[in-house]
Structure 1
Amino acid sequence: MRRTTLAAVAVLPLLAAGCSTVSTDPAPPDAGADRSTTSPTVPATTGQAQEAKVDPDAPLPWGPTAGELADAEALVAGWGSEQLAGQVLVGRYAGTDPEVPAALVRDLHLAGVCVTADNVVDEAQVLATTAAVEAAVAEDGRDFPAVIGVDEEGGSVAHLRGVATDFPAFAAAGEAIADSGRRGRVAVKDAAHATGLELRLLGFTWVYAPVADVTIGAADVTIGSRAPSDDPVLAGAAVKQAVAGYNRAGIVSTTKHFPGHGGATADSHTTLPVLTDSLAALQARDLAPFATAVQAGAPSVMIGHLDVEAIAPGVPSSLAPQVYDYLRGELGFEGVAITDSLGMGAVAGTPTLAVKALQAGADLLLMPADTRRAHATITAALEDGTLDRARVEEAAARVVALQRWQARIAQDRPVDESAVEKAEAASAALREAAYGY
């Protein structure tokens, strides 16, 4: 769909103090380049046990600079329990009144909200919603943008249908690369780039894509054509290009659903799927595209609700320390680990769910069934010592640093209405590269 007019969007001021130790224009993660998992350092003097000095302008593998992360760590260390609890939550809300999510963010100091199809009326209402949420963040005294995310994968999972451009399902990405080689890779990257720009035009800062799951075909009842391929090599190639495109657009992408939902024969929206494959089999198929995404500079990875017997038997991945340890230790991921929606059936009814996810290693909790209750539970756990404050500070600092990266890149790469035409052209190019029409 092509928009002809756009309502004015409130722009969050970017205060110089928030990034005082960083350069004005460091680039985001390089498109598709392999990256080290450690920050560049200055070697200590020979024979001296000096602490390595980190260049504050050095970009971390997942986007922010070392200085942005250090500033974020210092900031959250001074927060009270309620503000700290809010910064690790992305809330859900009902209805289409822009003031509802804004009040939730303002009252609970939330990192942000997830916008779903049920929250969408039309373009003007979406713009009003994202502007209201950003205004609430500014009123709360924050100098970085909110996490305003949406599931906009293409195909059947497109919560802005009728407002944003329609793209084919992500299966087209694998097909395009398989059928058209380099032209297909360019089409996938351009599609992600164009999607990111159009979402930014509407006020979004996050997109819950790309899907890195490797589908097993008909037995895969949940992912299907949302997956880029049934071939892990093609899936990895598609995810690599998508991450690069989103990074270039200045929007935070979320590679999902780690450690891989494509081999599950049950739907985690309703129950907890069990994956019985060996670790070697998982590494060869399910985990491979996630490793590629991390090397490509993925800023965020979504942890699915899966019982992966080879890693953490009997425990949902989103609540399993072993899964987060694998993501960070084996794959070298340093960015924001976000849970899949905590309102899903796979984890429904779990006592102190939000606290357990943070204890396991999550940095950001997506859509608890009751956002206010989750906030109260986290706050109480911080106050009584059940939840280690250092763990939550670590999580919140990653989120703040990533939002400052997003704001910096967005400021350097402004968008205008031409993003709509670019999205329409990119959608057509991806479809042609994949299917020839």
Structure 2
Amino acid sequence: MGDPGLRRLALGTLLAAYPGPVPPDWAVDLVAEGLAGHTLFGTNVHDPAQLAASTAALRTARSDVLVAIDEEGGDVTRLAHATGSPYPGNAALGVVDDTTLTRRIYAAIGGELAAVGVTVDLAPTVDVNTADENPVIGTRSFGADPGRVAAHTAAAVAGLQSVGVAACAKHFPGHGATVADSHHELPTVDADTALLRARDLPPFAAAVDAGVQAVMTAHIRVPALTGDGPATFSRAVLVDLLRGELGFTGTVITDALEMKGAAVAAGGVGPAAVRALAAGADLLCVGARVDAALVERVVAEIVGAIGDGRLDRARVEQAAGRVAALAAWTRVASQPRPLPAGADRTPGSGPPGIGYRAARRAVRVEGELPRGERPLVVQVYAAATIAEGRVPWGLGPHLSRVEQVRVVAAEADPAALRRLAAGRPIVLVGRHLHRLPGGPALVGSLAATHALTVLEMGWPGRWRPSGVRAFVTTYGASHANGRAAAEVLGLTD
């Protein structure tokens, strides 16, 4: 590939990924050749011992390799993807509104990551969720109030970084006002700069003030700043706004370049990498579906862009330098360390820890809960976003002597459910019930003739169903949220 120095320089700006629980040879070899690091996903995680062995294998190639993961707690978890997180997510923490608790939760999460050799947490999500119908942020947000989100952002950053794991505030300049998912398309936030400064930027300013090591870009279009392209490719966003106005000096990490919000706009992952670097990004997250050939294609695109003048070499050197500085900061987290006091281990393995207690504090009840006879629990199917992945949720693991059935809202027969209940109360469990096809109709039909409690485990927004005996919100669907709801409803022993 010509100049080997250019190849190593390009590799130093990339976060790749690999399939399976054991790093393949090519993934380790690329680290030795200069690859900045790898992002881990649920497919890479079986158990803590296996994960620690995987990160140790990567470290044999280079001691300062970056090992990143999306571990937000709540609905987005990789460590506990098989069971659900033992921590509530940001929405629940925002409802509790105890910044000391938020810091402790994030320190516990960071401690678990450090114990298995992860050095960068692609969290917290600091978007202000002002769009009730937001399909990708929702419960990942601390809330809809910029001041509250900013306060919890600072606490989360401090908690993670107190145990040597770099935090990454996302998604700049703010994904909370979108009603589309950037995994599938390029969303638009039609706001002027004054509104962005008042609504979306305060949490990022708080993260910068808290010393956050990294900020992740958003594949969103903000016409007032980005024109027709995404923020990830906008120098006005990454340099003028983030670095110039907010004073951020750390590492700018892109959201996954394989996402359609970036790849389609650029014409592929390789061209997206070039445009992101030119705009001011430093560390390029390639995505989840990565192999050696894809990495080499991206490297070739970057090297070619330097050669033909589309990309200035000094800009790539600057990016690689910032990545190296991040790696130096995270070196302290490279060695496994014991879990901090209060951290939650495998869900269900012992007494509830800090995450379960926090989730219990977040449960809100409107109306009168059923007491006495055990109800029929009806869980309504809800698809997961790509960010969440297929993680178990609901009351199932926590129920004691309670019958549960699962239904698809649009296909459910209310009369059949009433017959099955046989006079017992019904607890209808869902995520974003008001957005599901057939969801509001199912609620209305059951409430009209039955003692119905609705348990909403997604972002409830302003929706409140009429005619129900009780409306219960958990602000998340993690294992911890499920246990908390079951306890409040009296469905555990």
Give the TM-score range, shorter chain.
0.7 to 0.9
**Conserved 8 A contact 2:118-2:333:** no
Which of 235, 243, 247 is 1:332 aligned to? 247
CA RMSD of aligned residues (A): 2.3
Which of 210, 224, 236 is 2:138 aligned to? 224
Q: How is 1:36-55 mapped onto 2 (pairs within 5 angstroms)?
A: none
**Conserved 8 A contact 1:240-1:296:** yes
Which structure's CA Rg is the greater one? 2
Tell me which residue corresponds to 1:373: 297
Q: CA deviation at 1:122?
A: 2.6
SS in 1 for 2:15: strand
Which of 87, 105, 123 is 1:167 aligned to? 87
What amino acid sits opposite 2:100 in the alignment?
A: V
Please give the alpha-carbon distance, in whole angstroms, between the structure 2 residues aligned to 1:79 and 1:395.
18
Please give the alpha-carbon distance, in whole angstroms, between the structure 2 residues aligned to 1:314 and 1:277.
14
**Conserved 8 A contact 2:128-2:175:** yes
Task: Report sequence identity in percent.
Answer: 39
Tell me which residue corresponds to 1:97: 22
**Conserved 8 A contact 2:185-2:260:** yes
Q: Cα distance 1:419–1:163, how it changes in 2: closer, same or farther (>3 A)?
A: farther
Tell me which residue corresponds to 2:277: 358
Structure 1 segments, 4+ long, off by >6 Å, are none
Q: CA-to-partner distance for each residue in 1:201-232, whole Å, 9 max, x for gaps?
A: 01100101001101124321110000110111
Q: CA deviation at 1:95?
A: 2.8
| TM-score using structure 1 length | 0.74
Q: CA deviation at 1:340?
A: 0.4
Which of 292, 295, 305 is 2:206 aligned to? 292
Q: CA deviation at 1:313?
A: 1.6
What amino acid sits opposite 1:315 in the alignment?
A: G
Tell me which residue corresponds to 1:110: 35
Contiguous gaps of at least 5 residues in structure 1: 1-77, 139-144, 178-183
Tell me which residue corresponds to 1:342: 257
Q: CA deviation at 1:432?
A: 4.0
Please give the alpha-carbon distance, in whole angstroms, between the structure 2 residues aligned to 1:116 and 1:101.
18
Q: How is 1:128-143 mapped onto 2 (pairs within 5 angstroms)?
A: 128-138=53-63
Q: Which moved more, 1:427-436 or 1:362-371?
A: 427-436
Q: CA deviation at 1:397?
A: 1.0
Contiguous gaps of at least 5 residues in structure 2: 346-352, 365-483, 485-493
Tell me which residue corresponds to 2:466: none
Please give the alpha-carbon distance, in whole angstroms, between the structure 1 residues aligned to 2:26 and 2:70.
17
Q: CA-to-partner distance for each residue in 1:82-127, whole Å, 9 max, x for gaps?
A: 1111111000222333225633533652100011112222333212
Note if 1:391 corresponds to 2:303: no
**Conserved 8 A contact 1:165-1:423:** no
State the number of aligned residues: 345
Q: CA deviation at 1:157?
A: 0.8
Q: CA-to-partner distance for each residue in 1:134-169, whole Å, 9 max, x for gaps?
A: 11224xxxxxx2111111111221012159962112
Q: Which moved more, 1:211-220 or 1:356-365?
A: 211-220
Q: Cα distance 1:220–1:81, how it changes in 2: closer, same or farther (>3 A)?
A: same
Q: CA deviation at 1:353?
A: 1.3
SS in 2 for 1:363: coil
**Conserved 8 A contact 1:93-1:100:** no
Please give the alpha-carbon distance, in whole angstroms, between the structure 2 residues aligned to 1:222 and 1:163.
21
Please give the alpha-carbon distance, in whole angstroms, between the structure 2 residues aligned to 1:421 and 1:105.
37
Q: CA-to-partner distance for each residue in 1:304-332, whole Å, 9 max, x for gaps?
A: 10000121121110011111121111111
Please give the alpha-carbon distance, in whole angstroms, between the structure 2 residues aligned to 1:377 and 1:107.
21
Tell me which residue corresponds to 2:181: 267
| TM-score using structure 2 length | 0.66
Please give the alpha-carbon distance, in whole angstroms, between the structure 1 residues aligned to 2:84 and 2:121.
13
Tell me which residue corresponds to 2:226: 312
**Conserved 8 A contact 2:117-2:334:** no
Larger RCO (CA under 8 A, 6+ residues apart)? 1
What amino acid sits opposite 1:415 in the alignment?
A: R
